[in-house]
Structures are given as structure tokens and as C-alpha cells.
Amino acid sequence: DAGVIQSPRHEVTEMGQEVTLRCKPISGHNSLFWYRQTMMRGLELLIYFNNNVPIDDSGMPEDRFSAKMPNASFSTLKIQPSEPRDSAVYFCASSSSGALAGGYTFGSGTRLTVV
């Protein structure tokens, strides 16, 4: 298995532009998570899906952030409009049977820089 695949690896964009981050989870995993990592705040959960349905989006910073999971093999995280404070590394992770199972498998992340 190729693991969790995220694209792009790096994204540099200007303030006000729309940014779309993509994730392909491991086949057969039924839970998908989006996290954001910064030095100041560490890894923060943004949203997670179970069987393609959003379960908890309380970590989404504000209405500028939205996430979708149209099918079991694809998810997107969109920021519109982007702001410099959104600069961070965004990780997608997937798992089977929730947190008590074999842990989360993380992608390599997307490093977002908003200038």
C-alpha cells in the first residue's frame, strides 16, 4: 500500500487566494482526519470523517475553512480566502475502527505558506 497520499507537498500562495489540499486515505480505512501543525500550537484536529460523513468539525478555525469527502478514497480541505496566519503544515491521516485500533497513518503533509 502506498500509504496516505497528500498533494501538493508544498504550496505558496498570496493572501486572499483559494487553496485546496487533497488527500487519498489508505484503502479500507473508514476514518479520515485533517490536522494542522504549527510550532506554537502543535498538532490540532480540524475535522474528522467516519464512513465519509463529517463527525466533528469543531476544530475548523472559521468559515473560511471547509472540508469534503465525496467518497471513501478522496478528501479535500479548502481555505477561501487564505490569510498569512493559515501558514502551517496540514496533515491528513486515516485509520480503521477509530482511535483504539492500530493508530493513525499520516500522510507526509502539505506545507502551506500564505504571503
Partner 1 sequence: TQLLEQSPQFLSIQEGENLTVYCNSSSVFSSLQWYRQEPGEGPVLLVTVVTGGEVKKLKRLTFQFGDARKDSSLHITAAQPGDTGLYLCAGALNSGYALNFGKGTSLLVTP
Footprint of partner 1 on this chain (CB under 8 A)? 4, 33, 35, 41-43, 45, 48, 56, 91, 93, 98-100, 102-109
CB of 101 to partner 1, least distance (A): 9
CB of 96 to partner 1, least distance (A): 13
Contacts of 102 (CB under 8 A, 6+ apart): 95, 96
CB of 108 to partner 1, least distance (A): 6
- Closer residue to partner 1 (CB): 5 or 15: 5
Phi then psi dihedrals of residue 24, to 5 deg: -115, 110
At 17, which amino acid appears?
Answer: Q
Rounded to whole angstroms, the Cα distance separating 82 from 115 reads 9
Helix, strand, coil shares of the chain, percent, nearest 5, are 5, 55, 45
- Closer residue to partner 1 (CB): 88 or 107: 107
